[in-house]
Amino acid sequence: MEDCIFCKIAAGEIPCRKVYENEKVLAFEDIHPMAPIHVIIIPKRHIATLMDVDAEGMADLQSMMSAAQEVARVEKVDQKGFRMVINCNKEGGQVVFHLHMHLLGGLRLKNGLA
């Protein structure tokens, strides 16, 4: 996908602070962290939003969830706890239209939104 910032990161055309990578998935530090630990987990192939996940995309989501477990271990929040977020479309707060999960941790997160 041209002009997709996360595709460019996946292709190595834009640098990132990589946390974890495998064949299907890449995880890197968010450039504007909203918590002491804020990692973005993406599928390497372009999927625009959660609503664009088809049967094949479900395998990517599964890989992203497995990667999240690994990231939690790497960041040493697997026991302490963390939060996963997927923003979908405009009212969901999605800004980058390449499917991604946020892994947030390193502080006691409050319940509730925004």
Which residues of the shown chain bind ligand AMP in the complex (CB under 6 A)?
5, 14, 16, 28, 30-32, 40, 87, 93-96
| Contact partner at residue 93 from ligand AMP, Zn ion, none, CB < 5 to 8 Å by partner kind | ligand AMP
Give catalytic status of residue 102 as yes or no.
no
- In angstroms, rounded to a whole number, what is the distance separating the alpha carbons of residues 39 and 101? 8
Shortest Å, Cβ 6 to ligand AMP: 8
Which residues of the shown chain bind Zn ion in the complex (CB under 5 A)?
1, 4, 6-7, 46, 98
Tokens of 92: 């969901």
Element (H, E) at 40: strand 37-43
**Are the beta carbons of 41 and 100 closer than 8 angstroms?**
yes
What amino acid positions are annotated as catalytic residues? 100
